[in-house]
Amino acid sequence: MQDRSLLLRPLSDSHLIEVYHEAKAMHLSEEFISLIEHAIEQRGLNVNDDRKSLA
């Protein structure tokens, strides 16, 4: 999974979180959502309150 999560590195933190929310809303594959979640965790972000985590 780590190798695939490198594909998300070019995204800014705010874009990564936006992609996560859109993927969830569109009911995309759990594998893709897990990949995004892994990237979010690696960056130490919080998807529940992205304003605080990005400050």
Range of the domain at 32: 2-54
pLDDT given at position 16:
95
Q: What are phi and psi of 39, to 5 degrees?
A: -65, -40
Full-model pTM:
0.78
pLDDT at 5 over 70: yes
| Tokens, residue 53 | 């985590």
Q: Hey, what amino acid is at 33?
A: I
pLDDT given at position 13:
94
Cα–Cα dist 1/40, whole Å? 13
User: pLDDT tens-digit profile of 10-45?
Assistant: 999 999 999 999 999 999 999 999 999 999 999 999
CB-based contact 34:42 (threshold 8 Å): no
Q: Which residue has the tokens 């590195």?
A: 9
- Total number of domains constituting the chain: 1
pLDDT given at position 1:
53
pLDDT given at position 54:
46
